[in-house]
Chain A
């Protein structure tokens, strides 16, 4: 629209100049430079800027959705954050505070991204071998210790309390933090297993500190662990729900995975043929079979016991997800989501020592169940018969 442009030429010039000056101010070059004609507007902008500089310094901290190292005020929920930032504007009605799962966007080491994917994953037992399409599985190779094959030798169990330190994990509505629950349950589980006298039980962290996933894996491998159990607490957008789920490592089984595979094969240094063979190979590894069994045992014990406390708890079963922490550990490894912190009732329970002790005992049951079953079954090496012979 050239004619309109012409008519607006003067307006435009002023605006362009103002944009330019605004930007000079941003970089701090503004002071000595020319000022735009409208002096009144200018001075207003200057005051705004003076006001904004401190905002710039403090807001990141206020906005930070992940917890700060020092214990944050417990009730800083989304709503409070929203109004802190947006001043006079009231946040939208009701649910806004509740709805956004704080971890919908992934932060470093938040496994919530995985949970997202797990929705799309069936609960079927074993994925067909050709779904095992991760070239990075190659990195680990078949490093399962052969001794653990025969079930007689389980000595070291590594328990991995999820999150810690600056990484609080999921936080419930009244401030209960996943990192604290996982640590406490892990400590209880440790002392329970220790009492049995047969196991060397180690934790990836013993206190409230941050440990990277890589370090956890490294630790588990360095002590030659025989089992690895990672403990987490779920958080779901739907606050009414409580689910228990136990994962072992594997790709999610859906179209996305297949596309991922195609792309990876394209980029990887391996031919399709090589990959297929390796994938086939890995899909049969002992580590995987054992992880499935361990996951089933834990899921089963957790669920049937928790049912006594919450009849409505959902059983989403044993699931597959590519948690790096499960991949890296060379022993059978599972990750258990022992509860749902976004569920108010559950959060309340998790706050009680008694309930955490219970959960620890359920996990213990699951682990022990697995270990005893395993010593009976190790000879067979396939797991179809598990249900029939196992119970």
Chain B
């Protein structure tokens, strides 16, 4: 490191610990993400196969036959409170920090970790413990709150984070949201995948597809409302790749989350006085991977309109919205707070 004190003494990072994807943003400008899979070799033989003591993300998935794979935040919470799942969270965090750390990075890391709202309620202590080894100082916040902070929606706003395990609703009114300001639904991306899979099984009983394949289809072709064009995907039948039309199934699966979104948004907003309701209604922000479903923003807005004027926007970068927000928190947090954390 140079002698000038130009270099920062700490590396600030924001981490979005998600059910399906985890992302990190650092103030050295690096951003990375991995699928939230952590895999340990099943035994010594498998250890030999994969050549590593622990694997992450895509690589873990590719080697799933040799690994015990954990998606540590299944359904938004540390999976069963088991030591292994906590260990998985720990490994994931370590891995993420390693991804953004460079040779020049200062040794000390300050981390703000955004976790799904449920997990924040239930596992925050465990998560804190898991991260403690790798960050000198850290804070845990709920994911939708991190998103809101990142887009400066501090007041009169509602963030809806459509993740994999959960959909988190969070109303911002100038302070850290309390329990009453938040809701969680289980109808996130995983739910859509299951819906789609069962629709497809119904229509094409002879086709072979895994949940992973179904998720990929969804991520390529998701939409609600009127289709732009027919959605066709390749699914093996008796081992041979065959094109299948899945337009209607895709639409049905994606639309299945709409009623819950509308209902819950209305319910949450209704808790506030009418003046405030109006403001929140005009500042609804969709975040998370599921916000990319084509036509979702429009359909959602249309449905809410029936109850009064409103405006729904999508966050620009659904992949890093949470991590960036957490990073903003880390950077903005006064030193004095860090020192005591």
Q: How many Å lie between the Cα of A69 and that of B257 in the bound state?
A: 36
Contact of B340 with A24 in the complex, beta carbons under 8 Å: yes
Q: Are B175 and A106 in contact (CB under 8 A)?
A: no
Q: Does B284 contact A (CB under 8 A)?
A: no
Q: Are A56 and B122 closer than 8 Å at their CB atoms?
A: yes
Known: A64-B81, A213-B42. Contact between A14 and B337, CB under 8 A?
no
Collect the chain A residues with CB atoms within 8 Å of residue B139's CB: 19-20, 22-23
Is the CB–CB distance between A117 and B64 below 8 Å?
A: yes
Q: How far is the CA of A89 from the CA of B265 in the complex (A)?
A: 12
Given contacts A23-B140, A65-B80, contact A16 B256 (CB under 8 A): no
Closest CB in chain B relative to A169 CB, distance in Å: 15
Per the bound structure, the CA–CA distance linking A256 and B175 in Å amounts to: 48
Q: Which single residue of chain B is at the shortest CB-CB distance from A95?
A: B198
Query: In the complex, how many angstroms separate the beta carbon of A29 from the nearest chain B beta carbon?
Result: 8
Count of chain A to chain B residue pairs whose CB atoms are closer than 8 Å in the complex: 217
**Could you mark each residue 243-285 of chain A with 1 if its beta carbon is under 8 Å from any beta carbon of chain B, else 0?**
0000000001000100110011001100000000000000000
* Inter-subunit contact A92/B74 (CB<8 Å): no
CB distance from B164 to the nearest CB of A (A): 12
| Residue in A41, A89, A241 whose beta carbon sits within 8 Å of that of B178 in the complex | A41
Given the known inter-chain contacts A11-B174, A38-B175, please indicate yes or no for A116 contacting B154, CB distance below 8 A.
Answer: no
Is B8 in contact with chain A by the CB < 8 A criterion?
no
Docked complex: A314-360 residues within 8 A CB-CB of B: 321-322, 324, 327-328
Interface 1/0 per residue, A218-236 and B, CB below 8 Å: 0000000000000000000
Check A268 against B333 for contact (C-beta < 8 Å).
Answer: no
Q: Which residue of A lies closest to B207 (CB)?
A: A119
Q: Which residue of A lies closest to B155 (CB)?
A: A11
A8 within 8 A of partner (CB): yes
A45 engages B77 (CB within 8 Å)? no
Q: Are B210 and A116 in contact (CB under 8 A)?
A: yes
Query: Chain A's nearest CB lies how many Å from the CB of B20?
Result: 11
* Given A15-B175, A55-B121, A89-B185: A139 and B208 interface contact (C-beta under 8 Å): no
Residues of B within 8 A of A33 (CB): 340
Interface check B313, CB cutoff 8 A: no
- Nearest residue (CB) in B for A86 is B184
The answer to whether B46 and A136 have CB atoms under 8 Å apart is yes
A147 in the interface (beta carbon within 8 A)? no
Instruction: Name A61's contact: one of B81, B121, B329 (CB within 8 Å).
Output: B81
- Complex contact B205–A241 (CB within 8 A): yes
Contact indicator A238/B198 (Cβ below 8 Å) = yes
Give Cα distance in the complex from A231 to B207, angstroms.
Answer: 26
B81 touches A108 (CB 8 A): no
Residues of chain A from 115 to 139 with CB closer than 8 A to chain B in the complex: 116-117, 119-124, 134-136, 139
B332: chain A residues within 8 A (beta carbon): 12, 16
**How far is B80's CA from A109's CA once the two chains are assembled, in angstroms?**
16
Query: Taking A19-B329, A99-B195, A108-B84 as contacts, is the C-beta distance between A60 and B78 under 8 angstroms?
Result: yes
Contacts of A15 in B (CB 8 A): 149, 154, 174-176
Q: If A15-B176, A92-B186 touch, does A63 touch B81 (CB 8 Å cutoff)?
A: yes
Q: Is A80 an interface residue when CB atoms closer than 8 A count as contact?
A: no
- Are the C-beta atoms of A116 and B212 separated by less than 8 Å? yes
Contact size range, B: 35 or more
CA of A92 to CA of B125, assembled, Å: 29
Contact of A256 among B62, B124, B185 (CB under 8 A): B62
Chain A: residues with Cβ within 8 Å of the partner, total of: 88
Closest to A64 in B: B80
Whose C-beta in chain A lies nearest to the C-beta of B154?
A: A11
Q: State whether the Cβ of A17 lies closer than 8 Å to any Cβ in chain B.
A: yes
State how many angstroms separate the Cβ of B339 from the closest Cβ of chain A: 10
Interface string of B267-304 (1 = CB under 8 A from A): 00000000000000000000000000000000000000
**Contact (Cβ within 8 A) A106 B209:** no
Q: Are B333 and A16 in contact (CB under 8 A)?
A: yes
> Would B65 and A322 count as touching, CB distance under 8 A?
yes
Q: A15-B176, A61-B81 are in contact. Are A24 and B341 (CB under 8 A)?
A: yes
Known: A45-B178, A324-B42. A106 touches B187 (CB 8 A): no
Check: A105 CB closer than 8 A to any chain B CB: yes
Q: Is A141 an interface residue (CB 8 A)?
A: no
Query: Does the CB pair B43–A92 fall under 8 Å?
Result: no
| Contact across chains for A214 and B43 when beta carbons are under 8 A apart | yes
A85 to B119, CA, bound (A): 11
CB-based nearest B residue for A17: B337
CA distance in complex: A136, B149 (Å) = 49
A96 near B194 (CB under 8 angstroms)?
Answer: yes
B122:A99 contact, CB within 8 angstroms:
no
> Which residues of B116-153 are within 8 A (CB) of A?
118, 121-125, 128, 139-141, 149, 152
Q: How far apart are the CA atoms of A45 and B154 in the complex, in Å? A: 19
Q: Which residues of B contact A96 (CB under 8 A)?
A: 186-187, 191, 194
Whether A4 sits at the interface, judged by CB under 8 Å, is yes
Q: Are A48 and B178 in contact (CB under 8 A)?
A: yes
Residue A93, interface by CB 8 Å? yes
CB neighbours of B152 from chain A (8 A): 1, 4-5, 8
Per-residue interface assignment for chain A, residues 54 to 77, with 1 indicating a CB less than 8 Å from any chain B CB and 0 otherwise: 011001110111100000000000
Tell me, in angstroms, the Cα distance from A114 to B42 when the chains sit together: 12
Q: In chain B between 193 and 241, which residues have their CB closer than 8 angstroms to a CB of chain A?
A: 194-195, 197-198, 201-202, 205, 208-212, 236, 238-239
Docked complex Cα distance between A89 and B183 (Å) = 8
Is B49 an interface residue when CB atoms closer than 8 A count as contact?
A: yes
A-B contact pairs, 11 of them (CB 8 A): A8-B155, A16-B337, A20-B333, A22-B176, A44-B179, A92-B185, A92-B187, A108-B68, A113-B65, A121-B239, A136-B49
B: which residues have CB within 8 A of A? Answer: 42-43, 45-46, 48-52, 62-71, 74-75, 77-82, 84, 112, 118, 121-125, 128, 139-141, 149, 152, 154-155, 174-176, 178-180, 183-187, 190-191, 194-195, 197-198, 201-202, 205, 208-212, 236, 238-239, 256-257, 260, 264, 329, 332-334, 337, 340-341
Known A106-B64, A119-B209, A135-B48; further 10 A-B contacts with Cβ < 8 A: A52-B121, A56-B125, A64-B81, A109-B42, A117-B65, A139-B45, A238-B198, A240-B201, A263-B51, A321-B65
Give me the 9 closest cross-chain CB pairs, A-B, nearest first. Answer: A60-B81, A267-B51, A122-B239, A99-B194, A238-B201, A64-B80, A18-B176, A20-B337, A136-B45
